[in-house]
C-alpha cells in the first residue's frame, strides 16, 4: 500500500521533492477500529500551512509522517459496532490507499443524499466555511454588493451562491476566462472579473458602482489591494484565507496597508476558521443540503484520478487549475 509522507519542509512553493511516497503495511486492527479503502481525498490550501514548523490554529505535520486531510473511505472490515462492511465514511485520514482508524474518528455518510465528493465540498468543510463566514461575519443584506475572491473555487463558488440566495449582488474575482464564464453563466454571479488582466482594478471599480458592502477574502495580496478603496461605510470583511501569500518566503507582499481604508469606511475585518463554528455544523449542513435539494445551490468538482495524482492535485491549487472543489478519486478511473 502506498503512503505519502512529508519529507522536507518546503521553502516557497512545495514540489514533488517535498513528499516521499512509501510502500507500507497496515498495522493490525484493535477493538473499535475500522479498516477502510480510501475512495476520495480532499486536497486543500490550508495543508500548505501545516507543512511549516510554525505555531498556528492546527499543529504542523511531522517530518516522515503521512499528510492528513479529510477523506472518504469504504469500509472493508469493521471491529466497531457503528459501521458495517460497505458503509461509506468520512473523517480525517492519512494520505494512503487504505487505513485502519478508530471508529470514533469517522462518520457514516449517505450516497443517496448527495454524490460522495460533495461531502468534501459543498456540504462539507468548504461549503460550511462559506456558509458561516459569509452569514455570521459578512451578514449580506438584499441589494448589497458582495465581492468574493477565488470566486470559482470551492469556498468562493459557495459564497457567491449563498450571497445570491440572500438577495445580494455578487461580483466574483478569478484568474481565467473559463472561470469568469463559470461564475457568471453557471453560478449566476452578476459580474466576473479576471484579476490577471491589466485593467483589473478599473474593471472591479466599474463592476461595483455602489461600492462594496461585503468582501469575502480568500486570496489577499494585489487582488485585495484593489478592493480596499471601494469599501462602503460599515463594510464587512470575513478573512477566510490569503492563498497568494502561502508560498511567500519573506515580506515581499506588503501592498497598501489596509488600516486606513478600514478607518475611512468604518469597516469590520474578522478572521475565522471553519472550526470556530463546529458546534453549529449540523445546522449549517442541514441548510446547505436543503438549498442543494431545492436547486438553489449547484456544485462542481474537479476530479483527478488515481492516488498517484494526489501531490499534483495539491500543487495545482496554487496555479488555479481547479474549478470548484478539487478532489482525488483515489481508486482511479
Binding mask 262-291 for ligand NDP (x = CB under 6 A): ----------xxx-----------------
Give the Cα separation of 65 and 63 in Å (integer): 5
Give the residue from 1, 15, 25, 7 showing the smallest Cα distance to 96.
Answer: 1
Is residue 176 a contact residue for ligand NDP (CB under 6 A)?
Answer: yes
209 to each of 171, 197, 234, how far by Cα in Å? 11, 20, 17
Q: Does 223 bind ligand NDP (CB under 6 A)?
A: yes
Shortest CA distance to 236 belongs to which of 207, 272, 209, 278?
272
Select 190 or 276, whichever has its Cβ closest to ligand NDP.
Answer: 276
- To which H or E segment does residue 70 belong? strand 68-78
Give, in order, the Cα–Cα distances in Å from 330 to each of 242, 281, 303. Answer: 28, 26, 10
Shortest spacing between CB 147 and ligand NDP, in angstroms: 13
Q: Are 29 and 100 in contact (CB under 8 A)?
A: yes
Nearer to ligand NDP, 175 or 284 (CB): 175
Q: Is 14 in the site for ligand NDP (CB under 6 A)?
A: no
Q: What sign for the dihedral angle of Cα 205, 209, 211, 213?
A: negative
Cβ–Cβ under 8 Å, residues 159 and 137: no
Closest separation between CB of residue 173 and ligand NDP, Å?
7
Least Å from the CB of residue 275 to ligand NDP: 7
Instruction: Please identify, using beta-carbon distances, which residue of 58 and 63 lies nearer to ligand NDP.
Output: 58
Q: Which of residues 107-146 bind ligand NDP (CB under 6 A)?
A: 126, 129
Report in angstroms how near the CB of residue 119 gets to ligand NDP at its nearest.
Answer: 14
- Which CB sits closer to ligand NDP, 232 or 273? 273
The C-alpha cell that represents 317 in the structure block: 491549487
Q: How many residues does the chain have?
A: 333
Q: Which is nearer to ligand NDP, 231 or 313 (CB)?
A: 313
User: Which residue lies nearer to ligand NDP by CB, 34 or 187?
Assistant: 187
- At closest approach, how far in Å is the CB of 320 from ligand NDP? 2
The smaller minimum CB distance to ligand NDP, of residues 23 and 251, is found at 251
Using alpha carbons only, what angle is made at residue 51 by residues 49 and 56, rounded to the nearest 5 degrees? 45
Judged by CB under 6 A, the stretch of 6-14, 43-51, 71-79, 199-207 that binds ligand NDP is 43-51
Task: Select from 6, 33, 44, 119 the one that contacts ligand NDP (CB under 6 A).
Answer: 44
| Complex with ligand NDP: residue 103 or 192, whichever CB lies closer | 192
The candidate with the shortest Cα–Cα distance to 194, out of 179, 178, 212, 174, is 174
Strands 68-78 and 19-23: unpaired
DSSP 216: E
Footprint of ligand NDP on residues 233-252 (CB under 6 A)?
A: 240-241, 243-244
Q: How far is the CB of 299 from ligand NDP (least distance, A)?
A: 11
Q: Which of residues 142-171 bind ligand NDP (CB under 6 A)?
A: 150, 152-156
Cα angle 87-79-39, degrees, rounded to a multiple of 5: 35
Binding residue (CB under 6 A) for ligand NDP from 21, 22, 318, 331: 318
User: Total residues at the site for ligand NDP (CB under 6 A)?
Assistant: 30
What percentage of the chain's residues is helix, strand, coil (to nearest 5)?
30, 30, 40
Interface residues toward ligand NDP, by CB under 6 A: 44-46, 126, 129, 150, 152-156, 174-176, 179, 218-219, 221, 223, 240-241, 243-244, 272-274, 317-318, 320, 322
Amino acid at each position: 500500500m502506498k503512503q505519502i509522507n512529508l519529507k522536507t519542509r518546503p521553502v516557497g512553493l512545495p514540489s514533488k521533492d517535498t513528499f516521499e511516497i512509501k510502500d507500507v503495511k497496515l498495522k493490525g486492527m484493535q477493538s473499535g477500529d475500522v479498516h477502510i479503502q480510501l475512495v476520495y481525498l480532499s486536497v486543500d490550501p490550508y495543508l500548505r500551512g501545516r507543512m511549516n514548523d510554525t505555531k498556528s490554529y492546527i499543529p504542523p505535520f511531522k517530518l516522515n509522517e503521512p499528510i492528513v486531510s479529510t477523506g472518504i473511505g469504504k469500509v472493508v472490515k469493521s471491529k466497531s459496532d457503528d459501521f458495517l462492511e460497505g458503509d461509506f465514511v468520512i473523517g480525517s485520514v492519512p494520505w494512503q490507499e487504505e487505513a485502519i482508524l478508530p471508529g470514533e474518528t469517522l462518520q457514516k455518510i449517505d450516497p443517496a443524499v448527495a454524490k460522495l465528493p460533495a461531502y468534501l465540498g459543498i456540504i462539507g468543510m468548504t461549503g460550511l466555511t462559506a456558509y458561516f463566514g459569509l452569514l455570521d461575519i459578512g451578514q449580506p443584506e438584499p441589494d448589497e454588493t458582495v465581492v468574493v475572491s477565488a470566486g470559482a473555487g470551492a469556498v468562493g463558488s459557495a459564497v457567491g451562491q449563498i450571497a445570491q440566495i440572500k438577495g445580494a449582488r455578487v461580483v466574483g474575482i478569478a484568474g481565467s476566462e473559463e472561470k469568469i464564464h463559470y461564475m457568471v453563466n453557471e453560478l449566476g454571479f452578476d459580474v466576473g472579473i479576471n484579476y490577471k488582466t491589466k485593467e483589473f482594478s478599473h474593471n472591479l471599480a466599474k463592476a461595483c458602482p455602489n461600492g462594496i458592502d461585503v468582501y469575502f477574502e480568500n486570496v489577499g495580496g494585489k487582488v485585495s489591494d484593489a478592493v480596499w478603496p471601494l469599501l462602503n461605510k460599515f463594510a464587512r470583511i470575513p478573512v477566510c484565507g490569503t492563498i497568494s501569500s502561502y508560498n511567500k518566503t519573506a515580506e515581499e507582499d506588503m501592498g497598501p496597508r489596509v488600516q486606513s481604508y478600514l478607518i475611512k469606511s468604518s469597516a469590520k475585518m474578522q478572521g475565522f476558521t471553519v472550526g470556530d463554528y463546529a458546534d453549529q455544523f449540523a445546522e449549517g449542513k442541514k441548510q446547505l443540503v436543503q438549498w442543494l435539494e431545492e436547486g438553489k445551490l449547484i456544485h462542481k468538482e474537479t476530479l483527478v484520478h488515481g492516488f498517484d495524482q494526489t501531490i499534483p492535485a495539491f500543487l495545482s491549487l496554487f496555479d488555479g487549475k481547479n474549478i470548484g472543489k478539487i478532489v482525488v478519486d483515489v481508486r482511479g478511473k
